[in-house]
Structures are given as C-alpha cells and as structure tokens.
Structure 1
Amino acid sequence: MKRRLVPAVLLSLCCIVPASLAQNADAPKSGPRVVTLDIHGSMPERPGPLDWLMDGDAEPTLREVIDALHDASTSDRIDAILVRLKDPELNIAQIEELGAALGRVRAAGKKVMVFGEAYGNAELLLGSYADRVIAQSGGPLSMPGLFMEEMFLADTLAWAGLKADMVQVGDYKGAAEQMGRASPSPQWDQNINQLLDSQYANLREQMKRGRKMSDQQLDAAMEKSWMTDAQQAAALGLVDSVVDLPNLSDDLSKQLGGKVAWSGGLIKKASTELAMDNPFAILQKLSQKPKASPGGPAIAVLHIDGVIVDGESSSGGLLGGGDNVGSRTIRNAIEDILEDDNFKGCIVRIDSPGGSATASEVMWQGLRRLAAKKPVWVSVGSMAASGGYYCAVAGDKIYVNPSSIVGSIGVVGGKIAMQGLYEKLKVNVVTRSRGPRASMFRSTLPWTPEEVELVRGKMKETYDLFTSRVTAGRKGIDLAKTAEGRLFTGSLAVDLKMADKVGGLSDAIADMADSLSMTDYEVMDLPGAKPLEEVIRDAMKGFASSPVRGGAALEPVA
C-alpha cells in the first residue's frame, strides 16, 4: 500500500521522509542496521498552526511516527529500531498506539529496543512492547501504579460565601460534583473506581504479556519499585540490561550479533535552507498560504480535540489556557470535505472531554450530513467523553484504544451564587430585570425550587436528544448499562457495543482505504492550517477576550 502523508499545510520546503526511503546508500551493511526514534516531550496529534513555516524543525505527529514505523517494518534496509526516551509526555492511549506499531515492526522480524535514562509508569509500559528494555546505569525507576486525586470544594466555596447551584441528568454524571459537593456521591465513586480498575487492569495485562511475568512476579516487582534504581529494576525483571550511554553501541552489538551500523533517525526531514539574511526570502516565506485541498484521492482526518464550544475554535492565546474546538469551525471543515471530490472518506479523530451540548448537536448534524455522501468513521484518542462521544456516534464505525475513555452519556449545568462573597466584600448588588425569567441569570442567589425544575426539564430534553443520537448510531446498545454518565475504557466499550474495534488512527485509515480500494492516496488533516496573519490574530485574542460569557451558566454541558 502506498500512502502519501500530507498535512493541510504547504510542503514545498519541508517533508517527512520515512527512514526506509532516506537511507544513505553507502551506509555500512556488514552489521545490523539500526535506526533511532527519539521521543521527547509531548507528541502532537496533528500539525501545529505554524508547522508549515518551520522548515523541517516541527515535531512529527503521532500519525507520522506510526506511519514511519509501518514503512520501517517493510524496509529491507533496517534490521532494528532503538527508541530513545527523553522525558516523553505521552498519554496511555498514545502509548498503546505506538506499542501496536512497534508490535508490527517486531512481527516483521526486526528487533525493537528501548533505552531510557529514567523510567516511570509510561516509559515502562511503552518498553513492554519492545524486545529489550535498557536502562541508564544509576538511573531512577518508579512503578507505583495508578493514582488520582479529586478536590471537592463545596465547603471551601461556602467558606468564601459562594454556592455552586448545579443540576445534572444522569446519576453517574459527576462532572460538577467537585464544585457542588463536599465528597463524591456513591455513583460517582463507583464510576471513577470502575474506570481506574479497568485502566489498571489494561496496564497490568500488557506488562505481564510484554515482560513475560506472572501476577505474583509483577506484584513483587511493583511492591519494590515504587522508588528504585536501574540495577534493582533489572533484578526485578522490569528492564533487561543496565548500561552507561557511551557503552550502548557495544551492548546493542552484543545483543544483535554484530557491530551496529547506525543508519540515522527513523524520521528524516528534508528541508530547503531559508536564507535568514535575505529579507526578500523571508517575506516570500511569510506570504505563503497553507495548502487547502489535496492534489489527488485523499482521506480526511477531521480533528475534534479540546473542549467543545459554540462558534469558532480557539487556542489559549498568548495568555495560555486549553484549546477549544468550535462547532462553526468543524462545520466549515465538513463543508470542505463535502465539496472536494478528492476526499473519498473521513476519519474523525476525537480527543475531547465534551463541552457545549448545542455545539455537540451541531457537529453531529454536520457529520451525519457528510456520512450520507461519504464514509465517516471515528478514531478515539485518549478520550471521547460526553459531548465527545455525542460526536463519535455520528460515525458509522468507532475505533478505540484499549484505555481510551469513552461514554459519560449525560448532561450537567449550573451556576455559582455569589451573594455570600459579595457580603464578605461589602459589595451591595442591586438587581433589575424585565421579563418573566430574566432574573434566573442573577449572580447573587441560587435558583428557587421552581427554577431548578425548569432547568432540570431543559436538561432532560437535552439528555433525551443525546440518548436518541446514541441509540440511532449504536445499534443494540443497552442504555441501562451505558448511559447516566457512566465512563468506560475502550476495551470495555467494544464489549458494550459503544465502539466497534480496538485500533488506532492508522488502523482506521488503512481499513477505510482498503474498504474503498484505495492504494495511492493522501491523508490530510482538517481543519487546515491558517495563514500567518490569522494565527497572530488568534494568539492576540487572549488580551482582548473576556473569560465570562453572558448566560453561559445555563448552557447545558454534555
């Protein structure tokens, strides 16, 4: 299968070339040929807004790394891959996708080794997919297990004179409990414990399978490795060997049966040097526009990542903050896919905890309209919860990673009543309203019982619409077992008919291409990159935008 990986940016000056195609023809061939894959920091899901200006310096995306591993598995110029861990920041779903790709490399008869100077849960989990795990001599190692903390702020808010007035539909929909309660409800406690149990079980099963350990051996290793060093970790069976970095080549040569011939990096970037002392060259570069459409048959990867909001997508701007994915931005991208005949299908890549229920419905409608014309499948990254799952059920097929978080079918909304704080601060608030329900938006007092029932009724309408979308998209699903805000890992979601298959983004793309009999095609990320002036304008919004939106307190959140 031949694939051309083209993010929605201009690639005239920078392209990613798989190592199998970029090897030096004169490289030594007498010994095992080893390429390296450095993993440092986070691994983006899609190209950044300015990657098309980076001239080869942009970090590769998760998909680009996995596709390079695929090419390496079929290359006759590569005998082994060394994965260098340099303070990676990967979530568990990304580790599972990378691990599956490393497994395909091993299945092709090539060796995979991992070397790290320090190991934690994530690094050891990734190492469990390799043939050999190598630790830096004297380096630290810690595998205590999974741990989480939740802060419940109702008493703190009361002390400050505030009251969280929250309404939820779904007994297990505990998204607002940290604000409205002093401790978790039994349902939320059960929900989170079940999710943590499932993720921990996935971690243990992979560690046992990859490290060839029994339950008793893994328990003994974890009991002692909450804080240990490389030497003891080797004795416990968590790593295979301990070496000093300067001796790594000798260790690999011994394990591979011949002097290692280093063949460079797994991902090589070909770039044209930009003359920084030439103002005309710089201006020409900055005036370029990112690529907006594919040049031939293509599969679109539509990214729904971040908190779902109405309107346009936005980043944190210069003031920081998380990313938001906007319904208008996604609908515009859907229109681009619909109108371009080169797009033969669409994979919706979701990594979202949810957000606005109305925005989720707008996205769902757009995806269903697209699905009437072209195949629409879904790939879940680390999470498709609440509004994220609302969007997911618009797809005809859903792929999940074993530890993806899926579900949270429910609705929550509310506001903060601030009268007590105003009194503490000696602030006298005078309210005036016109209209039968205008005062529901007051910041001073909680809702009256009558108002709570009005809000609950609106939430119930949203919940009923949400569940109707789920049952329409997921034939045979049992809402009594899956709805009410319950959360599940991907592996359990498949069993519950909330998803169809365990697999990553590259699996979904390859399967769709096979189903469409596509052998030569592009893969293009959407929404596409913006021109430089738009990126700068968006970055400056943090200075001018108010963090408070009028009426947002009553907006149902899915």
Structure 2
Amino acid sequence: MKTFLKWLAGVLAVFVLLVVGLFVFISIITDTEPVVYENSYLHIRLSGTLNEYIPPDPLEEFFGEVPLDLKKVRDVLEKASVDDRIVGVILETGYLQCGFAKMKELTHLIRTFRQSGKKIYAYLGGDITMTRDYYVASACDSVFMPPQSNLVLPGVLSEITYYKNFFKKIGVQAEFIHIGKYKSAPDVYTRDRMRPAHREELSVLLDEIYADIVTSISTQRALPADEVKRLINEETGFTGLRAKEAGLVDSTLFFTDMPALFNTEERPARIDAVDYARIAPSSLDIRNKSRIAVIHCSGTISGGYDSEDSFLGTLAGARSLVNHLQKTARSKLIKAIILRIDSPGGSAAASEVIWDAVRKARKKKPLVVSISDYGASGGYYAAMEGDSIIAEPTSLVGSIGIFAGKFNVRELYNKLDLTNESLSRGKHARLFSIMQPWSASEKK
C-alpha cells in the first residue's frame, strides 16, 4: 500500500510539474513580440460584442482565440500612427454589437489616427452591414464594399417585453418597490406597458442617438443632413452599387483588392490587430513619461472579485476594484488615476464600497472618471467621488434610484398541485418567502 501511495504521489508531482511547465512555456510564447515587417498594414476586425477590457489569458492567446477589446483598439491605433513599418490601416466591420458611446469613441480614435497622415480604409464585406458598422466605418478616409453586399440603415429602435399578464396567467405575482422616478428596471415584471416617465426617458435617448447618427454620417461623409435622413427613411437598404451612387461608400471592390489602395511599390504585408497589440509601446518611444493608471470597472457591480457569471455576465467585483485603487494610490510611480466605468450598476452595498475607495484614492492623487457605454445606478454612484467625470454624448449616465423585490408563486404551486409547508420564528421570518406577498410592515 505504501509503495502504491508513493507511486501515486510521484505521478501527481510529475503531472503538476508538467502543467506548471506548460503554463510557463505558453506565457513565454505569448509574451514574445510578433515580427512586424517593413511595409505592413494593420488589419482590425470589429464584430460582435466589443468589451471595454478583457484581462489577458495565456491559454486563449496560445490558441489564437483572443478577442479584441476597446483598450486593444485604442492601443494599436496609437502605436500604428507612429510606427514607420505600418503604412496604414484596414478596418473591417461586421455586425458590431456595442453601445453608441463606444462607437463614438471609435470614431474619435479613427480621426486621431488620421492626423498622423496615414490612411485608414473601411471595408464592409459582410452579407449585411448595419448602422453600427457603418457609423464607425464612415469616420475612415474611405469606405468600400462589394458590389452586391447589403448596407441597411433602418434608424434606431427600443423594444421592451412586459411580463405582468403572462405571470398572472401562470400564477406568479411580481412584487417590487422602487425609489426614483426614472428607476424603471422592475417595470417589465410589474406592468403591462410603459410608465410615462419611462417613455419620456427612452424618447429623449432615442432622439439624441438618432440625431447623433444623422449628424455623424452627414459630417463624415460630407452629405447634407436632410439627405442622410432621406436615405434612412425612404431607401433604408442599399447594395454596394447603390451605396456608391448615394455617396455612402467611395467605391465597390473586394477585400483582396484593399491592400493595393496604399500605393506602395510592393504589396504590403498584413499584421492582425490582436498580434500587433503585443508590441510594447516603449519600443516605439511612446508613453515614456509619468505613468497614469487606468482601472476598469466593467460589468454588473457585485461584492467579491472580478469574474464571469452565467446569468449576469461580467461582474465588477468591489474587492478587485478596492485592491487596484489602494495599490495605485500608494504607488510612487503612478502620478494619476483614470477610473474607466462601463457598468449599469448592481449591488448598492458593493457600489458604496467602491465609492469609498474612490474617495480615499482621490485624496492621494488626481482621479478622473471616464464613462464608456454605461455609468448608471451604482456605476454612477461610484463615479461621483472622482475629481471630474467625463462621458461621451451618447453614454448612459444616471438612473438614480434603487429597487428591491421578489416573486410570489403560490398560485403557480396551486395550478401545478404542489404543496409547501414552512415553520418560522420571528415576525418577519417570511420576508423573502416566495409563497406570500409582503405585508404592510414588511414593505416598510
């Protein structure tokens, strides 16, 4: 038996060493800078969700599954603007899914890159190109798409499904209490239509977003605003050929023809943005001055540490943020802090913990809050202690208020012939019971 245990311990030790060795090997491989040839173009592909920041994962990098985030896009455009090996950029968009504030920042980044004198060309090569894709692409020097691809500019829409009547039919009662006129998140469970305050809120948001789309396309494509509105409202869908006639794109061609647009003696080599992101800024003699720390608060605010939840998605952990704020506030190398928030809110208690950490960090060095798509509810609460708050015109900021609630499923149990028995001690022991509504005293 002892011999077997020794053998088993030896096997486990070898296995652990192999795993650790593999992890170290992968880390070394992924930390190695890629080769950037002279006369190269940077290829950026934007599609699907664009997260604010995705922490490095050596395994994903090793297997080539690293997605782009906004931080990487910001970094690669800054580096490419001063890298003599890079002759220009091809930006390819396809069904981009992000908020309008991120889209607005992408157009800022593109215009900043253009100031370097290098060209950035947009390619719309998917079967269908939608408003978000075109909004970003229109900021480039020129826009191209295949002759028979489709561009669809339908305007903006907000749809909400209300569950009150459905819940009533199956025997579920949603009980929610909210504080704040515009705190409308629980309405989908407790109402069968929009409250006037919610309708007012969405109408203002849609008006601002639609106006920004029209103004941005008009400015970036040198088209009259009324003509942009006409194209959206009367034509809506365009083939590549029709988009060229309308002035929405500069020409029709295929992706294989794009590199020739840079007019270099030899066809430029391609380097992908994910690979180029590994180039150290110091190798290009940028960011060599005083350091500014950027701390990300991305996702639903919760206690604990940053993580991923199968239901809530990305969680911004209060403990993680507090640790980062405390370390940067103590560091002698860090001269200032940028707190980058992209959060719809979350736990009130966790938001207050972050608020306190921001307040304390601000006493030690300058702290500026930058809001991405969302700085709402608890996200805005955490931002309030910054020296200043900066947001895009289309950032969603505010949503001041709180709510709490539960679902009463007694009637559903009756319909399903389910029974429930409980014993309790204490007047409000059934406060969170799903078998009965709140009493007047419990609501208080």
Identify the TM-score tier after normalising by the shorter chain: 0.7 to 0.9
Name the counterpart of 1:467.
none
Match of 2:76 among 68, 75, 78: 68
Q: How do residues 94-493 of structure 1 correspond to structure 2 at under 5 angstroms? A: 94-118=102-126, 119-250=129-260, 252=261, 261-265=267-271, 267=273, 268-269=275-276, 298-316=291-309, 322-452=313-443, 454=444
Partner of residue 37, structure 2: 24
Structure 1 residue matching 2:324: 3-state secondary structure: helix
Structure 2 residue 7 is the aligned partner of structure 1 residue 14: no
**Preserved CA contact (<8 Å) 2:52 2:342:** no
Contact 1:34 / 1:260 at 8 angstroms: preserved in 2? no
**Cα RMSD between the aligned structures?**
2.9
Paired residue type of 1:419: R
Residue identity opposite 1:311 in structure 2: G
CA distance in 2, matches of 1:270, 1:206: 28
CA–CA distance in 2 between the matches of 1:270 and 1:315?
Answer: 24
Tell which deviates more after alignment, 66-75 or 421-430: 66-75
**How has the CA–CA distance of structure 1 residues 413 and 127 changed in structure 2, closer, same or farther, with 3 Å as cutoff?**
same
Q: Which residue of 2 aligns with 1:47?
A: 54
Q: Find the aligned partners of 1:246 and 1:296 in 2 and give their Cα distance.
A: 40
The count of aligned residue pairs is 407
Do 1:37 and 1:82's aligned partners in 2 also have CA atoms closer than 8 Å? Answer: yes
Question: In the alignment, is residue 37 of structure 1 matched against residue 30 of structure 2?
Answer: no
Tell me the alpha carbon deviations over residues 482-506 of structure 1, each in whole angstroms, 9 at most, x when there is no partner.
xxxxxxxxxxxxxxxxxxxxxxxxx
Secondary structure of residue in 2 paired with 1:126: helix
Residue 23 of structure 1: how far off its partner (Å): 4.5
**Partner Cα separation in structure 2 for residue 297 and residue 348 of structure 1:** 17
Larger mean CA deviation between 261-270 and 173-182 belongs to 261-270
Q: 1:117 to 1:174 in 2, by over 3 A?
A: same
Question: What's the secondary structure of 1:113's corresponding residue?
Answer: strand
> What is the Cα deviation at residue 48 of structure 1?
3.2
1:207 aligned counterpart, secondary structure: helix
SS of 2:431's partner is: helix
Q: Secondary structure at the match of 1:446?
A: coil
Aligned pairs for 1:475-514 (under 5 A) are: none
Scaled by the length of structure 1, the TM-score of the pair is: 0.67
**2-side partners of 1:429 and 1:38: how far apart?**
54
Calculate percent identity across the aligned residue pairs.
Answer: 28
In the alignment, does 2:95 pair up with 1:82? no
Mapped partners of 1:234, 1:269: distance in 2: 32
Q: Return the letter of the residue paired with 1:173.
A: K
Task: Tell me if the contact between 2:93 and 2:137 (Cα under 8 Å) persists in the aligned partners.
Answer: no
Does the 8 A contact of 1:16 with 1:269 survive in 2?
no
Specify whether residues 17 and 235 from structure 1 end up closer, same or farther in structure 2 by C-alpha distance, changes over 3 A only: farther
Contact 1:14 1:56 in 2 (8 A): no
Tell me if structure 2 keeps the 8 A contact 1:134–1:243: yes
> What code does the residue aligned with 1:265 have?
I
CA distance in 2, matches of 1:449, 1:64: 52
Letter in 2 for 1:14: T
Q: What per-residue deviation string (whole Å, max 9, x for no partner) do you get for residues 318-341 of structure 1?
A: x57512222223223333333433
The verdict on how the C-alpha distance between 1:135 and 1:398 changes in structure 2, with shifts beyond 3 A counting, is: same
Aligned-partner residue type, residue 299 of structure 1: I
Alignment-mate amino acid for residue 111 of structure 1? K
Give the C-alpha shift of residue 51 in structure 1: 3.9
**Alpha-carbon distance in structure 2 between the residues aligned to 1:413 and 1:105:** 46
Higher relative contact order (CA 8 A, sep 6+): 1
Q: 2:320, 2:259 → 1: CA distance?
A: 49
2:268 partner letter? W
Name the CA distance, whole Å, in 2 between partners of 1:358 and 1:159.
35
Deviation at 1:78, TM superposition (A): 4.4
| Matched residue SS, 1:248 | helix
TM-superposed CA distance for 1:157, in Å, is: 0.8
Cα distance in 2 between the residues matched to 1:233 and 1:44: 30
3-state SS of paired residue (2:122): strand
Q: Which range moves more in the overlay, 64-73 or 403-412?
A: 64-73
SS at match of 1:440: coil
Distance 1:389 1:443 in 2: 32
- Per-residue CA deviations over 1:509-558 (Å, capped at 9, x if unaligned) read xxxxxxxxxxxxxxxxxxxxxxxxxxxxxxxxxxxxxxxxxxxxxxxxxx
CA distance in 1, matches of 2:307, 2:79: 34
| 1:91 counterpart letter in structure 2 | G
Measure how far apart 1:362 and its partner are. 1.0
CA contact (8 A) 1:417 1:444 kept: yes
Change (3 A) 1:223 1:192: closer
Q: Distance between the aligned counterparts of 1:270 and 1:83, measured in 2?
A: 15
Shift of 1:174: 0.7
TM-score, normalised by the number of residues in structure 2: 0.83
Q: Deviations over 1:152-190 (max 9, x none)?
A: 111111111111111111111111101111111111111
Cα separation, partners in 2 of 1:132 and 1:17, compared to 1, 3 Å: farther
Opposite residue 315 of structure 1, the aligned amino acid is E
Given residue 106 of structure 1, which amino acid in structure 2 is its aligned partner? R
Q: Distance in 1 between matches of 2:257 and 2:57?
A: 39
Q: Flag the 1:66–1:56 CA change in 2: closer, same or farther, 3 A.
A: farther
Paired residue for 2:6?
Answer: none
Equivalent residue of 1:323, what SS? Answer: strand
Instruction: Determine helix, strand or coil for the equivalent of 1:355.
Output: coil
* Contact 2:42 2:80 (C-alpha < 8 Å) held by counterparts: no
3-state DSSP of counterpart to 2:308: coil
**2-structure distance, mates of 1:101, 1:296:** 21
